[in-house]
Amino acid sequence: MNIVVTVRLVPDLVEELEIDESGTALDMTWMRLIINEFDDHSIEQGILLKERGGGQLTVVVPDVEGADDVLFAAAAKGADRLIKVVGDFEEGVNNHALARGLAATLKDLQPDLVLTGVQAHDDLDGSVGPLLAEQLGMPYVGYVSGVEVSGNQTTVRKEYPGGLIAEMAVTLPALLGIQAADEPPRYVPISKIRQAMKSASIEELDAPELDPSGAPAVSRMFEPEAGERATMIEGDEEEIAERLIEIFQEAGIL
């Protein structure tokens, strides 16, 4: 079983987001990039499948700031092969370009199963998973929170609203958009990542020239106009708690 996980890095939403001078894009200058949380779940799902059924797990990341850290962390968790796709990815490339940029590498790897996060919070032109699936001619199922493989077929749990699950049977090779792994992503201590940095090696592969067509042009980016924002309660925890009690009483909750 040849499993490939593709990973995208996204702005860390914990940090303040700023819009650049053009007013049409995020300012990437000081932006901290972190692994897309759903890609983290994809790595975990890949490792779980490997632990259960054997096989090889390859993690593929476009070459942006932070890519090496993501790959070494994946190696520390159990990934066998680390690939960095080198191209002009730094300039906030869109998903269409990224999917095309990864497709050539993925074709060469001839995976049985490709896993990637169902979406990323900054998706503006579709998601990498289903774009890539179509490039590779593979079937795609997204919003997946459970994967089993048997023979040339995978059975996945696809999430619908209200907690409803659809079990879908998918013929391999296939690409799955992961919402959550069967188990939460495991924690790896820094010491193990350091070890991986010494023992594991990153292969660099060249991406073709990136083609961004298929995405919309953004003419204006802005922070949402604050509507009626919450009335903020000031003070320390005592004072806030006291005011909340009053509010509960006014609303007839207490």
Partner 1 sequence: MNQDIYVVVEHLRGQVSDISYVMLAAARVLAQGTGGSVVAVLLGHNAGELAGDLAADRVLYVEHAALANFTSDAYLTALSALLSEQGPRAVLLGHTSIGSDVASGLSVRLGLPLVSQCLRVSEDGKFVSQICGGKIMAEGDLPEPTALVTVVPGGYKPEEGQSPAAPEVTPVAAPALEGLRVSLAGYVEPEAGDVDISKEPILISVGRGIQNEDNLELAQELAEALGGVVCSSRPVVDQGWLPTSRMVGKSGQKVKPKLYLALGISGAPEHVEAITDSEMIIAINTDPNAPIFDIAKYGAEIDMTDLMEVLTELVEEAKGG
Single out the residue of 22, 169, 194, 201 in contact with partner 1 (rule: CB under 8 A): 169
Q: Which residues pair with 56 in a beta bridge?
A: 2
CA distance 60 to 71: 8
- The smaller minimum CB distance to partner 1, of residues 34 and 86, is found at 34
Q: Are 114 and 106 in contact (CB under 8 A)?
A: yes
174 contacts partner 1 (rule: CB under 8 A)? yes
194 contacts partner 1 (rule: CB under 8 A)? no
Sequence-distant (≥ 6) Cβ neighbours of residue 165 within 8 angstroms: 145, 146, 157, 158, 159
29 contacts partner 1 (rule: CB under 8 A)? no
92 contacts partner 1 (rule: CB under 8 A)? no
CB of 25 to partner 1, least distance (A): 9
The number of angstroms, rounded, from the C-alpha of 178 to the middle of its chain's C-alpha atoms is 9
- The smaller minimum CB distance to partner 1, of residues 198 and 230, is found at 230
CA distance 55 to 45: 13
Quote the tokens at residue 238. 């005592």
Quote the tokens at residue 110. 């001839």
Site for partner 1, residues 106 to 125, rule: CB under 8 A: 118-119, 121-125
CA distance 61 to 204: 10
By CB under 8 A, the count of residues binding partner 1 is 88
Site for partner 1, residues 208 to 247, rule: CB under 8 A: 213-224, 226-227, 229-234, 236-238, 240-242, 244-245, 247
- The smaller minimum CB distance to partner 1, of residues 198 and 229, is found at 229
Site for partner 1, residues 72 to 91, rule: CB under 8 A: none
Please give the span between the terminal C-alpha atoms of the chain, in angstroms, as a whole number.
58
- The smaller minimum CB distance to partner 1, of residues 17 and 107, is found at 17
Q: Which of 37, 34, 240, 211 is nearest to 119 (CA)?
A: 37
Single out the residue of 166, 203, 204, 211 in contact with partner 1 (rule: CB under 8 A): 166
Q: Which stretch binds partner 1 (CB under 8 A): 50-58, 107-115, 141-149, 203-211?
A: 141-149
